[in-house]
């Protein structure tokens, strides 16, 4: 099965119309795609990309710029990457969801890798130290941990992947 990733702004009309029937099992993520994603695009708050599989809207993710207080990261990451201890730019994976019909087929991984490729582009254009995500729950956190994200010491659902690790992961 091939997957095409479309920026929301170029989503084919049929898939744009299908947003209201998207169901990942989490109402807030469904509602965001159906009701808020286009508004946030227009206001330059987020960029949303949608995965198409077999002609259906199969999943999406949203990215936004953010800052992270480096002191919230693990001491290991701070030392390893010699990060100054003040607010630094990151890209935040604001949302990632896969329609229930396509879960368990690797689409979440495809969407995450596509998002990571965009983080590298952001770093090349304006600089950032990595990707941060607020996992919805422990199951979502485990998904990100499998890719090498690190939990922050004080919040196990706030996860971070340093830019050099994203670059290495995508080179392999």
Annotated domain spans of the chain = 3-171
The pTM score is 0.95
Please count the residues of the chain.
172
Banded model confidence at residue 85, pLDDT cuts 50, 70, 90: confident
Using alpha carbons, list the distances in angstroms from residue 33 to 24, 80, 93, 131.
11, 37, 14, 21
Residue 35 has a pLDDT of 96
Phi, psi of 152 (to 5 degrees): -80, 150
| pLDDT exceeds 90 at position 18 | yes
Share of the chain above pLDDT 90, in %: 90
Choosing among 3.30.420.280, 3.40.630.30, 3.40.50.10360, 3.20.20.70, the CATH entry for 3-171 is 3.40.630.30
Per-residue pLDDT of 127-146, as tens digits, reads: 999 999 999 999 999 999 99
């Amino acid at each position: 099965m091939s997957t095409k990733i479309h920026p929301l702004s170029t989503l084919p009309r049929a898939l744009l119309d299908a947003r209201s029937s998207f169901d990942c099992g989490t109402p807030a993520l469904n509602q965001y795609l159906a009701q808020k994603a286009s508004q946030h695009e227009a206001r330059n708050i987020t960029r949303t990309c949608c995965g198409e599989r077999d002609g259906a809207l199969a999943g999406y993710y949203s990215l936004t710029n953010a800052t992270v207080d480096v002191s919230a990261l693990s001491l290991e990451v701070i030392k390893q990457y010699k990060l100054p201890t003040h607010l630094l730019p990151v890209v935040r994976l604001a949302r990632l969801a896969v329609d229930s019909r396509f879960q368990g087929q690797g689409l979440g991984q495809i969407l995450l890798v596509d998002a990571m490729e965009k983080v590298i582009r952001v770093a090349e254009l304006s600089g950032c130290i990595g990707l941060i995500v607020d996992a919805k729950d422990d199951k979502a956190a485990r998904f990100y941990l499998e890719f090498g994200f690190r939990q922050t010491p004080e919040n196990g659902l706030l996860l971070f992947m340093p830019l050099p690790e994203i670059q290495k992961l995508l080179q392999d």
